[in-house]
Structure 1
Amino acid sequence: MSSSAAHVVLPFGQFYGREEVRRSAPDLEWALLRADPHRIVSRHSHDEAHFVLVLDGLYVSSAVGAPAVSHGVQLIYNPPGTTHRDRFEARDRVVSGRFLALSVGTEALAALRMHTTRDDTPQHAVVIESAGAIAAAHRLAVACTRQGRDAAYEQQAMALELLCHADNTVRVTHSAPCSHAAAPAWLQRACEYLDDSRGGQSCIAEAARVAGVHPVHLARVFRRFTGQSPATYVRQRRLEQAQCLLRFTTRSAAEIADSCGFADQSHFTHAFRNVYGATPAAYRAAHGVAELSHLPN
């Protein structure tokens, strides 16, 4: 991301990746895509609400509320206006991933109860853990590859089923450490920047610049609404991402330390041990993962 935090607004239903298939119905559009290892994903916005079902790979999104790294099958709801940089991390030095994206237009969203009241309106990404919603999304992903006279009808029905399952789940489970109804709009911009940064001395000052506030004001308001300082927030997100990369990739600890923004491997080891009670090497060994450089020929 550039220091100006410039970004593009993607057209309805458009996502970064190599499309396998794309289908649409009134006010809905869904597609199966694979990660494009040769394309750099820029910071961007989606005006419409959309769901992302991660089918394979290590998915990373800087959207507020999104997990540090999604591994395995995971369903994420992004409300209208989400700004982020989402991408797939390399596993064994190869970038790969596959996902289903379902875009929901304004009228379709209004027909649901997701956004009927201010209290019910999610202002940030929501990880959906409902088994029914995940199953519906997975059925839609499988159905996308089908051909035949009734294929389009079946896919539309499955897309609507996903929306119905997700409706109550999104409204009931969306939460944050603060009251986002009262939080200033610039706070989310700051969080998005911090989620997508690699830390460093200028990180918080740059987040304040992006948000259009003084760093002191950022620190005071950030703690009020999140319960922690911006620096603590960044450390937590970097460690969460590093933990997933240690467990689900064979990248070396040095590579992970660098990609997650730690000064060096020693700094990474010290920070990781303080939080997780084990060194990165011990944590990885406990989960049966060997670094790529240590794999047998």
Structure 2
Amino acid sequence: MIELERGCYLGVNKRDYNINGLLVRETEYLSKVYEGWHAHSNAHITFILAGGNREQRKKSESVASPGKVIFYDSGEVHRNFNTALPSKNINLEIESNLLERYDIKMTSIGAIIHANPDTKFLLLKMYNEMRQSDLYSTESIQMLFLNLVTTVSHCLNKQQPSWIKIIHEQLNDRWAEKITLNDLARVAHVHPVTISKHFPKFFSCTLGEYMRKLKVERALSMLKSTSLSLTEIAYTCGFADQSHFTHTFKQMTGFLPAQYRKI
């Protein structure tokens, strides 16, 4: 087993943006890479932009496909194999002392990112800032990271009633459907007024905003894994037309759909 030092990944590092305690790095995989067990000295979040692989940890195995976000704690042993070439990742590497001031544990981030579509959008906006790399990029990346940290802290510090989990599962399972407030109330066995009052507190947005996030999240994968046109993807993901899809996608990710597909 090998341990990779700060900023080291098994592919080719194309570009990065280095801030004290935080590193945003774009890594490409163009040829067969080391498939043995390894770990990283710092915790990091990986966003699969293109390609992917099979990922194995000591007690689990999963497919890392385009649009997926994966969290690795510092020193966590894993290996990647069957890499689909070419592949491309965004890696957000976080040094432990950076989060001490916010009283957030690395493992807490891992528990939240998979359930929160905002994580993907914040990572893509950091990546976009890294690509632009102008006078405002450092502050923008810091703000986006603090937004991510704040989101994690917000989720962890709230006692969620049991019906919130039911609603979360319903929305994620039925992301392509039209779901009404009465539908949610019936499934969760709570009054529509109760949902209306507490939904923004636990989801940090309105019902409509959250559903649009889920639709854009699905579009991220479809743009990379299918040859469907933008219009076809827009309709498949439940948008009224391509224009609405393009506007919403750009607002949430910082990229136009066509730009994202070419990354």
TM-score, reference length from structure 2: 0.52
Paired position in structure 1 for 2:45: 51
- SS of equivalent to 2:8: coil
1:155 corresponds, among 141, 150, 161, to 141
Q: Are positions 1:165 and 2:155 aligned together?
A: no
Alignment match of 1:99 (pick from 84, 89, 113): 89
Note the alpha carbon deviations across 1:106-138, whole angstroms, 9 max, x for none: 21132344429xxxx569887623011111011
Matches within 5 A, 1:73-92: 73-87=67-81, 89-90=83-84
Higher helix share: 2
SS of residue matched to 2:51? strand
Distance in 2 of aligned mates of 1:167 and 1:144: 25
Deviation by residue 1:57-92 (Cα, 9 ceiling, x = unmatched): 1232213576610223011221222111125633xx
Q: What are the residue-to-residue correspondences of 1:174-185 with 2, within 5 Å?
A: none
The unaligned stretches of length 5 or more in structure 2 are: 159-224, 227-263
8 Å contact kept, 1:128–1:170? no
Question: What are the residue-to-residue correspondences of 1:128-147 with 2, within 5 Å?
Answer: 128-147=114-133
Aligned length: 160
- Structure 1 residues 237-282: Cα deviation after superposition (integer angstroms, max 9, x where no partner): xxxxxxxxxxx79xxxxxxxxxxxxxxxxxxxxxxxxxxxxxxxxx
RMSD: 3.2
**What is the CA distance between 1:146 and its match in structure 2?**
0.6
Q: Any conservation in 2 of the 1:75–1:129 contact (CA below 8 Å)?
A: no
Does the C-alpha gap of structure 1 residues 158 and 66 become closer, same or farther in structure 2, counting only changes over 3 Å?
farther
Residues 132/83 of structure 1: CA separation in 2 closer, same or farther (3 Å cut): same
With over 3 angstroms needed to count, the CA separation of the structure-2 counterparts of 1:155 and 1:46, relative to structure 1, is same
Check whether the contact 2:32–2:83 (CA below 8 A) recurs between aligned residues. no
Q: Which has the larger radius of gyration?
A: 1
Equivalents in 2 of 1:17, 1:53: separation in Å?
14
Q: How far 1:51 sits from its partner (Å)?
A: 0.5
**Are the aligned partners of 2:49 and 2:89 in contact in 1 as well (CA < 8 Å)?**
yes
Task: Return the match for 1:108 from 87, 95, 98.
Answer: 98
Structure 1 stretches of 5 or more lacking a match? Answer: 1-6, 173-247, 250-297
- Paired residue for 2:7, among 13, 16, 19? 13
Where 1:30 maps in the other structure, the secondary structure is strand
Conserved? CA contact 2:3–2:75, under 8 Å: no
Query: CA contact under 8 A between 1:41 and 1:87: conserved in structure 2?
Result: yes
Once residues 42 and 125 of structure 1 are traced to their aligned partners in structure 2, the CA distance between those partners, rounded to angstroms, is 26
Distance 1:67 1:43 in 2: 13
